[in-house]
Amino acid sequence: MKLKLEQDRMRLIERLGVHLEEKEQLAPLAARIISTLILTGKKGVSFGELVQNLSASKSTISTHLATLQAIKRIAYYTKPGDRKKYFIIPPEAKLRWIDEMIDKWTCERNIHQEIFEYKKQCNRNLSCSEDPKFELEIHKEYLKILSLACATMVDLREKVKTA
């Protein structure tokens, strides 16, 4: 069972890493570091564990950790009596990501609202014999989905903020 979980974890680190590379424009190893931290949670991951688990050199891991810390994507904490740093994704980074999603979806919703209003006005100006009129139901549904997505992210933001 433990072996299967570890295999699943490694597969997810790779899969999420590829996703983050594309979505966040991160270097491949930086994306794998973030993926590892996401799948580890609050306990954090030490430098040595990152070197071992990601099969990368100490200098390469160190460079990417410094870059990710500089852009405030990761942070670290220490334990009393332990000289190791444990890297985590801080709540502030999660909140920034949520805010970016809300902004993106709000902007998209506003643009589609304008498109919807324009098409609605065009439909009013067409005579009954003119074809084709714009289909508005798809826009209504898309606007509803974007509004729901934004509202859900606002709720999630509050939960992350109070966690």
pLDDT tens across 73-118, in order?
Answer: 999 999 999 999 999 999 999 999 999 999 999 999 999 999 999 9
pLDDT tens across 26-67, in order?
Answer: 999 999 999 999 999 889 999 999 999 999 999 999 999 999
Amino acid of residue 39? L
As a whole number, mean pLDDT of residues 135-148 equals 94
CATH no. for 2-89:
1.10.10.10
Q: Is the pTM of this model over 0.85?
A: no
Contact 36, 45 (CB under 8 A): yes
Report domain extents, the chain.
2-89, 92-162
> Which pLDDT score is estimated for 123?
87
> Which pLDDT score is estimated for 128?
60
Predicted confidence (pLDDT) at residue 129 exceeds the cutoff of 70: no
